[in-house]
Amino acid sequence: MQSLTWNCPPLVIATAPRLTMRTTLLAILSTSMATALAIVLVPDASTEPGALFYPALVMAIGLALAPFTAAVRHPKTLLRGESLLTLAPIYWLLLDLLQGVYSLDHITADQIRQAFLAIGLFVVMVWVGSVRRPWTTPDVLIRSVSQEFSLNTYFALALACFFLGMLNFAVPCNFNVFEMAYYVGQERWAAPWGRGQLGGWDAFLDHLQYFGYLLPILTVVIGRRVGLRNARTLICIALSIVMTLFLAQSGSRRVIGVVAGMALVLWILDQRQLRVKHLIATMLSVFVLLLALQVMLEYRNVGLGVLVGKGDATVSRMEKRQVFEEQHLRVDDNFYRLCQIIQLIPQSYGFVYHKYLVYVLVRPVPRVFWPEKPVDPGFDLPAALGVEGVSYSYSVIGELYMSLGFIGIALGGWFYGRVASFARGLLSRSATQGALVTYSIIVMALFSGMRSILELILVSYVVLAWVGISQLFIKLRRTA
């Protein structure tokens, strides 16, 4: 019996203007109708866990309708930037509501309705921004994606990314391998490579870890060329596992999700035909990733070392029991925090306007060069709620509302849509592995950027790391 396959043309054909316009109109219509219906379905008594199940379900269906309709003909369209941005609120904002994880204490029904409206407005503007002609691609990026490397060069790139990425962890330990191995199993704040909010010269080391983000995706490139059993593939897999363990020590689940997501996106795009086995492998990979992120959440305050018997035995048994007894897939309480932002601004606090944008844009500038660099976005939600020693995430939609209300949400959604269009335009200019690597990074930056604009900026550094190291190898090849 012939295996079931989907005929998948290259992504640039799957996103032709005619298909994009049809999908865009469907997305705008379904999102708008779902938003209106979700608002109507919000009950007056809406603070109890599970009370918002039906509004969240309707909203999720409305968001997913257009991407999945397009994917019926061309499954790879699910990996378009605008499609991932449309599905991202389901994960970052609605998943907790669908599971009834928490209650929305002290939040009114009107504020919840405004939160649903904010989500719908953002997604609609994403599609409006994505349908326009892409921005002009910088020449340096064109040169990076236009060059195709040999297998040996990709292997050398993977080794270079590993050693550069590991410097962030090796330098604080004076290159003591045993000390590094010890701290990788400790809780998130114990390692010597961790630092506070305000860093000094050590901030330069932090940027080296973005080279490590590239290692799994380069492993996929090499594995696709020579197979899983090749020695170079096996070496890269081992190095990727080591790098992932060190990145996971920070307890940052989004980092691991981005690193694994980039590799998975490239693996899917690089398939000439999608068969049932590819679909099963993708679903299994996503399941394993979500399970790993859940384990990270439970263990990050005690360290992964308890999984192998290192650490307090009582704590180890307690944490293991919590992992298996947990009935919910926890993300973040982003929807709740979005409602709180709407509750406080502008009634009790003013909009921050440009302050948050400046705060994230100057993030790359080391504080040793600019001691007076802004340290906050102009509004501190925990402080406004009278809570100390914690930080809250309230999604990019909450940050945009904090900046300029619903106008800010509309502008931000349009900008995210333009970035998605830029990524699609980049892939249409070149079908090299370098183009697929860059595209995979950008779309995962957009997906993680739904959590925060800062995440979009930070993951974009991986593009800079790729451009920098690929340009270096191009120059070395020319001089050889």
Report if residue 395 sits inside a domain: yes
Q: Among positive and negative, which fits the CA dihedral 28, 31, 32, 33?
A: positive
Report if residue 118 sits inside a domain: yes
169 touches 219 (CB < 8 A): no
Mean pLDDT, consecutive 10-residue segments, the chain of 480 residues? Answer: 46 42 91 96 86 94 94 87 94 90 88 96 95 84 82 93 92 87 78 63 77 94 91 95 88 86 92 83 87 76 61 48 54 88 92 88 73 79 83 89 95 95 84 87 93 88 90 81
Domain count, the chain: 1
8 touches 271 (CB < 8 A): yes
Q: Among positive and negative, which fits the CA dihedral 353, 355, 357, 358?
A: positive
* Amino acid letter for position 6: W
Q: pLDDT value at position 200?
A: 57
C-alpha to C-alpha distance for 186 and 179, rounded to whole angstroms: 11
For 160-178, write each residue's pLDDT tens digit: 999 999 998 888 888 888 8
Q: In 345-394, where does DSSP find H-type helix? A: 355-361, 381-384
Q: pLDDT value at position 315?
A: 47
Q: pLDDT value at position 306?
A: 61
Among residues 416, 418, 405, the alpha carbon closest in space to that of 379 is found at 405
Q: Which residues lie across from 275 on neighbouring strands?
A: 5
Q: pLDDT value at position 58?
A: 96
Domain hosting 19: range is: 5-137+377-471
Report if residue 301 sits inside a domain: no
C-alpha to C-alpha distance for 180 and 198, rounded to whole angstroms: 23
37-45, long-range: CB within 8 Å, 24+ apart, which pairs? 37/62, 38/62, 38/116, 38/120, 39/113, 39/116, 39/117, 42/109, 42/112, 42/113, 42/116, 43/109, 44/109, 45/109
Report if residue 98 sits inside a domain: yes
C-alpha to C-alpha distance for 171 and 165, rounded to whole angstroms: 11
- Return all residues near 264 (Cβ < 8 A) that are at least 6 apart: 282, 285, 286, 289
Q: pLDDT value at position 390?
A: 78
C-alpha to C-alpha distance for 59 and 66, rounded to whole angstroms: 13
Residue 70 half-sphere exposure toward CB, CA atoms < 13 A: 29
* Amino acid letter for position 336: Y
Residue 406: left if φ>0, alpha if ψ -120 to 50, beta else—which one? alpha
Cβ-in-10-Å burial (0-12, 13-18, 19+) of 177 comes to: exposed
Q: pLDDT value at position 176?
A: 87
Report if residue 50 sits inside a domain: yes
Q: pLDDT value at position 446?
A: 94
Report if residue 93 sits inside a domain: yes
Q: pLDDT value at position 341?
A: 95
Report if residue 400 sits inside a domain: yes
Q: pLDDT value at position 177?
A: 87
Q: pLDDT value at position 15?
A: 36
For 144-156, write each residue's pLDDT tens digit: 788 788 899 999 9
Report if residue 127 sits inside a domain: yes
